[in-house]
């Protein structure tokens, strides 16, 4: 397998970024934390950053006072970014700049409505995919050869750069509480979510009080399920709504999850995960299929059996081998190279007329 790497020394990197403009394209609240490591690297090296929010599902209140939000497509076009970073699946072609897919999670094996792995669905929106590790790089390089209109560079995931540094004043730590901490996360997909099914079991475990619980769900989780779990809040359980899950991941000893890709971020800390009816069970997970198996699996995970920990280590090397916190710099190097090359050697992207019409309708933008 051939993997593309971009190497630029520090002096060249600073020069290449001066005067360049980078747009952070946000569609969900989780995008903020995923893009801020990139923003920090850009600013440190002399580039300019602005933010743009697509639709109504991301809260503009998460924009910080020192950050610049462009509130219309017209404003973005006037600013003319050189590159657009997207931790999502789509971005409109009428937004200027090289479009860079930086992913909103890892490949968790989810299948879309067409029965295909959603992580590898090519929608014709991106000029560059910055992949996280060998397992996804190989697949995307095959897709790049097939389609011919995008590049692939293995960089690691910028969202994880802060994961490998301790969080100052982590609000989810409880140093006076010596109980193990269980973090429960769940996807919103009706066919995959464990949250409604496990509610009564979680309630019973919380009442036992032998563990401290942190609960965090996908932003699109059914509001009725969210309210159920909020009612469980007590000295044993905290329900968390946040745009930055990294402190939660760092604060917990073990995770309970389903098929949400957040479990892979947790594994990269070399911490065990118990999954409930995971779509792609494997040796690096403790997967259970029955409600009554959950408690015993969590107890086993907290013991960190050597064979499980060895499987976790091997798996981490395949999905994200980087623990240096420098993935943002690798993404910027790859992006700047493509900006300077001007898509040399790439075919034109597909017109995507239906998708672009839907994006224009969503953003209320009809100028050409």
Do residues 292 and 310 share a domain?
yes
Mean pLDDT is lowest, of 3-12, 75-84, 200-209, 314-323, for 3-12
Cα 107 to Cα 33: distance, rounded to the nearest angstrom = 19
Residue 210 dihedral angles phi and psi, to the nearest 5°: -80, -15
The confidence score (pLDDT) of residue 3 equals: 43
The confidence score (pLDDT) of residue 165 equals: 83
Mean pLDDT, the chain, as a whole number?
Answer: 92
The confidence score (pLDDT) of residue 11 equals: 47
Do residues 173 and 126 share a domain?
no
Instruction: Note whether 35 and 84 are within 8 A (CB).
Output: no
Residue 126 lies in a domain: yes
Residue 1 lies in a domain: no
Cα 28 to Cα 74: distance, rounded to the nearest angstrom = 21
The CATH number assigned to the domain holding 114 equals 3.40.50
The confidence score (pLDDT) of residue 117 equals: 78
Do residues 312 and 195 share a domain?
yes
Can you tell me whether residue 275 is helix, strand or coil?
Answer: strand
- pLDDT of 8 > 80? The answer is no
Residue 95 buriedness (CB in 10 A; 0-12 / 13-18 / 19+): buried
* Per-residue model confidence as pLDDT tens digits over 130-184: 999 999 999 999 999 999 999 999 999 999 999 988 777 899 999 999 999 999 9
Do residues 126 and 253 share a domain?
no
Cα 337 to Cα 270: distance, rounded to the nearest angstrom = 33
Do residues 71 and 147 share a domain?
yes
The CATH number assigned to the domain holding 269 equals 3.40.50.2000
Residue 2 lies in a domain: no
Q: What percent of the chain has pLDDT over 90?
A: 83
Residue 272 lies in a domain: yes
Residue 86 lies in a domain: yes
Q: Where are the beta strands (DSSP E) in 161-266?
A: 181-186, 212-217, 237-239, 254-257
- pLDDT of 12 > 80? The answer is no
**Overall number of domains in the chain:** 2
Rg (CA), the chain: 21
Q: Please compute the mean of the pLDDT values over residues 327-340 and round it to a whole number.
A: 97
The confidence score (pLDDT) of residue 115 equals: 67
Question: Which of 303, 319, 335 marks a domain boundary?
Answer: 319
Cα 263 to Cα 249: distance, rounded to the nearest angstrom = 9
Instruction: Note whether 219 and 26 are within 8 A (CB).
Output: no
Mean pLDDT is lowest, of 2-6, 230-234, 356-360, for 2-6
Cα 234 to Cα 236: distance, rounded to the nearest angstrom = 5
Do residues 209 and 340 share a domain?
no
Sign of CA dihedral 91, 115, 272, 243: positive
- Hey, what are 250's tokens? 């760092």
Q: Please compute the mean of the pLDDT values over residues 81-98 and round it to a whole number.
A: 96
Residue 53 lies in a domain: yes
Lay out the sheet containing 83-86: strands in order across. 69-70, 48-53, 21-26, 83-86, 98-101, 128-131, 151-154
More confident residue, 13 or 305: 305
pTM for this entry: 0.78
The confidence score (pLDDT) of residue 119 equals: 86
Do residues 59 and 97 share a domain?
yes
Do residues 76 and 173 share a domain?
no
Residue 45 lies in a domain: yes
Query: What is the DSSP secondary-structure string of 239-266?
Result: E---S--HHHHHH-SEEEESS-THHHHH
Instruction: Note whether 271 and 254 are within 8 A (CB).
Output: yes
Do residues 158 and 172 share a domain?
no
Cα 283 to Cα 257: distance, rounded to the nearest angstrom = 15
DSSP 117: B
Cα 358 to Cα 85: distance, rounded to the nearest angstrom = 20
- Hey, what are 52's tokens? 């743009």
Residue 176 lies in a domain: yes
Do residues 145 and 27 share a domain?
yes
* Per-residue model confidence as pLDDT tens digits over 234-276: 999 999 998 789 999 999 999 999 998 899 999 999 999 999 9
Do residues 152 and 93 share a domain?
yes
Q: Residue 23: give the domain boundaries.
A: 10-163+325-363
Can you tell me whether residue 316 is helix, strand or coil?
Answer: helix
Nearest to 155 by CA among 60, 234, 41, 243: 41
């Amino acid at each position: 397998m051939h993997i593309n790497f971009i190497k630029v020394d520090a002096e060249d990197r600073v020069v290449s970024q001066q005067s360049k403009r980078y747009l952070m394209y946000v569609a969900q609240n989780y995008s903020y934390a995923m893009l801020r490591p990139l923003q920090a690297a850009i600013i440190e090296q002399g580039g300019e950053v602005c933010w743009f929010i697509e639709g109504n599902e991301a809260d503009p209140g998460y924009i910080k006072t020192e950050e610049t939000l462009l509130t219309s497509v017209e404003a973005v076009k006037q600013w003319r970014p050189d590159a657009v970073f997207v931790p999502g699946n789509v971005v409109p072609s009428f937004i200027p700049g090289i479009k860079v897919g930086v992913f909103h999670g890892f490949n968790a094996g989810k299948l879309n409505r067409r029965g295909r792995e959603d992580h590898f669905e090519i929608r014709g929106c991106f000029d560059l995919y910055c992949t996280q590790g060998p397992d996804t790089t190989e697949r995307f390089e095959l897709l790049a050869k097939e389609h011919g209109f995008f590049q692939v560079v293995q960089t690691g995931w910028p969202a994880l750069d802060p994961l490998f540094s301790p969080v100052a004043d982590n609000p989810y730590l409880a140093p006076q509480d010596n109980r193990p901490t269980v973090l429960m996360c769940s996807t919103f997909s009706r066919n995959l979510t464990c949250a409604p099914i496990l509610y009564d079991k979680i309630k019973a475990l919380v009442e036992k009080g032998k563990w401290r619980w942190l609960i965090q769900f996908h932003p699109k989780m059914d509001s009725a399920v969210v309210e159920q779990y909020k009612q469980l809040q007590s000295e044993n359980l905290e329900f968390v709504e946040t745009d930055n899950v990294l402190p939660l991941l760092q604060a917990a000893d073990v995770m309970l999850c389903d098929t949400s890709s957040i479990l892979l971020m947790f594994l990269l800390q070399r911490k065990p995960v118990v999954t409930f009816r995971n779509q792609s069970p494997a040796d690096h997970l403790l997967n259970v299929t029955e409600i009554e198996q959950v408690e015993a699996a969590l107890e086993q995970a907290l013991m960190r059996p050597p064979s499980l920990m060895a499987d976790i280590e091997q798996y981490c090397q395949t999905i994200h081998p980087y623990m240096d916190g420098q993935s943002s710099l690798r993404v910027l190097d790859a992006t700047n190279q493509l900006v300077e090359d001007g898509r040399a050697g790439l075919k034109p992207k597909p017109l995507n007329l239906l998708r672009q019409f839907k994006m224009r309708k969503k953003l209320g933008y009809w100028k050409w």
